[in-house]
A and B are shown apart, each in its own frame.
Chain A
Amino acid sequence: EVQLVESGGGLVQPGGSLRLSCAASGFTFSSYSMNWVRQAPGKGLEWVSYISSYSSSIYYADSVKGRFTISRDNAKNSLYLQMNSLRDEDTAVYYCARDPRLYSGGWSLSWFDPWGQGTLVIVSS
């Protein structure tokens, strides 16, 4: 069974840092691109970042560019999101989500399937 499990969320003060993790299982992690998508409380979905299968292509939403860093460790079947200089508006549930197609080079925009269960990040003083 394909599974994604996020961890690392919590309460952090404005200006602080947090590192999220996503553990993947049930598929060949290194063959797929991955994404982070977030959802503020009671709000809609916002794509945050993309990383290709061997990290050659990385992209960010303008709202997090320069503050967030996506990375992955294929040997550990894990995806990460390092979040620095956190703001109140970064408060959200953060989901990792897979590009369901086998990676074939470059950044080919995609739908997301599956999603993890999410981890909640609260930025507040």
Chain B
Amino acid sequence: EIVLTQSPGTLSLSPGERAALSCRASQSISSSYLAWYQQKPGQAPRLLIYGASSRATGIPDRFSGSGSGTDFTLTISRLEPADFAVYYCQQYGSSPPTFGQGTKVEIK
């Protein structure tokens, strides 16, 4: 199965700053079949990005996804208070679908 490694484990930033979260795959992900989710404490994950770069319905344009092959990035252009959460990447190019271990974005 494809192993996804997210880095850093924790990102400490201030509101208004730019966040760049990395997701690296153990093998190439076909057709950029990669998604990103946001999860806040006590809540279910919420889809942000699919197809590596397509924003889900209702997701603000400060969230963007990029990458291909084995290296993918989620960028939050200007952090707002509601953006401090844990972010997960997920690949759906190869069975079974797998998730990264998560990156926590915390307030500095």
Given contacts A44-B99, A59-B95, A109-B95, contact A115 B44 (CB under 8 A): yes
Please tell me if the beta carbons of A45 and B99 are within 8 angstroms of each other in the complex.
yes
Distance, CA A118 to CA B43, complexed state (A): 8
CB A116 to nearest CB in B, in angstroms, measures 6
Given contacts A44-B99, A44-B102, A47-B99, contact A109 B44 (CB under 8 A): no
Judged by DSSP, the binding face of B is loop
Distance, CA A62 to CA B1, complexed state (A): 11
Given contacts A110-B92, A111-B90, A111-B92, contact A47 B44 (CB under 8 A): no
In the complex, whether B56 has a CB less than 8 A from a CB of chain A is yes
Please classify how large the interface on chain A is, using the bins under 10, 10 to 19, 20 to 34, 35 or more.
20 to 34
Given contacts A47-B98, A59-B95, contact A111 B47 (CB under 8 A): yes
Please tell me if the beta carbons of B47 and A109 are within 8 angstroms of each other in the complex.
no
Q: Which 6 pairs show the lowest CB-CB distances between chains A and B?
A: A111-B35, A115-B44, A109-B92, A113-B47, A45-B99, A111-B50
In the complex, whether A10 has a CB less than 8 A from a CB of chain B is no
> Which residues of chain A from 64 to 100 have a CB within 8 Å of any chain B CB?
95, 100
